[in-house]
Structure 1
């Protein structure tokens, strides 16, 4: 059979109401608004209240994405959730969403690639649609990163926030159809040798605890700029387009300095880079769809635009997705 393009039919996102500003953090740890802004570009982040879980955030984003696509949960036959902070060790957030939304057919599961999770999840769903294993997929990035932070560690607790974003993918034109919309190329990589640079120091099999996020920030920064730039040039080459032809870049929102470093390395005009890090902080797997949705809502990303999404996360994992929206 001829592979089919996975078309982005709808998008939605959700952020908790509670906002934690830099000044709020300065009352908790030894930091300041100027210290955080100068090093990260972050001014605030959203924090899920007690009792609100990753699945709760994901459900709201999914409902908005389905509404945007003009579809219902009954149309969905695949749910792929990217998260590092699931509600439970099992069942998966994906199967919980399947039940909550009323999606009664197909498969649902989670993928874990930390901040690159949404890129991995998109790639999985794209491949399943391409091979005829699914017709309509919900691809979700959702996190409650606030639950794994050490709130006494100023080097990490200032960086992260909570939120969720979702895309609806539907089977579209055959791959290779000129001018067709959809996912044009995906590129995934990982290198487990760098685990100690960005990890959580707990887990069911090792400590029996959730653990806290630990990071050696300056080394992560160096790898991020190099590996993200490499993934962007590689995927553009695979798709037969130049970096200059891309209309919008939607990166993982880790740090404004990383976004600017990659843009400089590839000579990308900063006005073509979608940045939400100031308002959201680092929401891990949720950051790419959150940023994408904001740019659609404010009118920057339009139908027909060529969009490159990219990320790097703990593991290390990294990768990119090129799509015609």
Structure 2
């Protein structure tokens, strides 16, 4: 199928991307520190190196990734009309993370653009990308800067080896702009939540239901808990229907997509993608071994890998997809020009 036959629902164009990674932490050092068998992380989590903050906040990491995207496009914050942050974490409960990240940017103290935060956990960037495309259909919005930053290392305890070795910290950003180029932009976006999986991935404490004044720190409440088997069961149950419905909207099929950018959920999940898509593994951006699962930052980090190395060419499609706590499945197809 010729790519030009795809129908663009929301014209927009990726201008540039940026990324920030804190200090690398090897699996060998984690295994030695916590008494795990040597090689356990690579065998079961598929992660050799992840990155963990030493002094950085979400605002610091996000602002660095955003600045890199601005510099790559020879732009400044004055050129941005809407600033969107996405992710499961926050530096403070109030104000919203978008305000904190924007204020940490070069020129942020004088920025007056619209800024807001999106939290659909692992799918936050995909949701934010779709919202950015929506905003770019307005006559007074020319460019949108989307930033996803996550610090997983703060909420991970040593009691679960899978989560201990799987997750990493990092941030990535993308600038989208309005375009009149034909066949460039968002083709389709779909997000569905299946609340039967609400407790399959969660941090129960820290919110209104279990407020900090009423509940002292307890790993059972304040560390991330994930039931990997239940999440895999939910994915296997709902993914086939989701993909069938999604691609029915696009006028193409998964196997015809040029690049698949999945959420870097797990070694098992990443191994399933080429088989489900019926594509060569080289067409699936897999950065899990070198970054770990960076929650909402995983997909934009994969996108940065694609854009930074000039692998996303005009006319090609990029399919962003993944699952998130909730349980939810989200997908977005973008065509470049």
CA displacement at 1:116 relative to structure 2: 0.9
CA contact (8 A) 1:6 1:169 kept: yes
CA change 1:11–1:294 in 2 (3 A) is same
Query: Helix, strand or coil for the counterpart of 2:318?
Result: strand
Partner residue in 1 for 2:68: 64
State yes or no: 1:185 paired with 2:192. no
CA displacement at 1:20 relative to structure 2: 1.4
CA displacement at 1:300 relative to structure 2: 2.9
Distance 1:40 1:285 in 2: 18
Q: Which of 70, 78, 89 lines up with 1:85 in the alignment?
A: 89
Query: Helix, strand or coil for the counterpart of 2:179?
Result: strand
Aligned ranges 1:25-104 → 2 under 5 Å: 25-49=30-54, 51-101=55-105, 102=107, 104=111
Query: Helix, strand or coil for the counterpart of 2:285?
Result: coil
TM-score by length of 2: 0.88
Partner residue in 1 for 2:265: 254
Partner residue in 1 for 2:5: none
CA displacement at 1:253 relative to structure 2: 0.7
CA contact (8 A) 1:10 1:65 kept: yes
Unaligned segments of structure 2, at least 5 residues: 1-7
Distance 1:193 1:78 in 2: 35
Partner residue in 2 for 1:15: 21
State yes or no: 1:162 paired with 2:169. yes
CA displacement at 1:100 relative to structure 2: 3.0
CA displacement at 1:259 relative to structure 2: 1.7
CA contact (8 A) 1:48 1:162 kept: yes
Distance 1:81 1:111 in 2: 6
CA change 1:309–1:3 in 2 (3 A) is closer
CA contact (8 A) 2:9 2:186 kept: no
Distance 1:37 1:159 in 2: 9
Distance 1:206 1:264 in 2: 41
Query: Helix, strand or coil for the counterpart of 1:300?
Result: coil
Unaligned segments of structure 1, at least 5 residues: none
Larger radius of gyration: 2
Query: Helix, strand or coil for the counterpart of 1:204?
Result: coil
State yes or no: 1:5 paired with 2:16. no
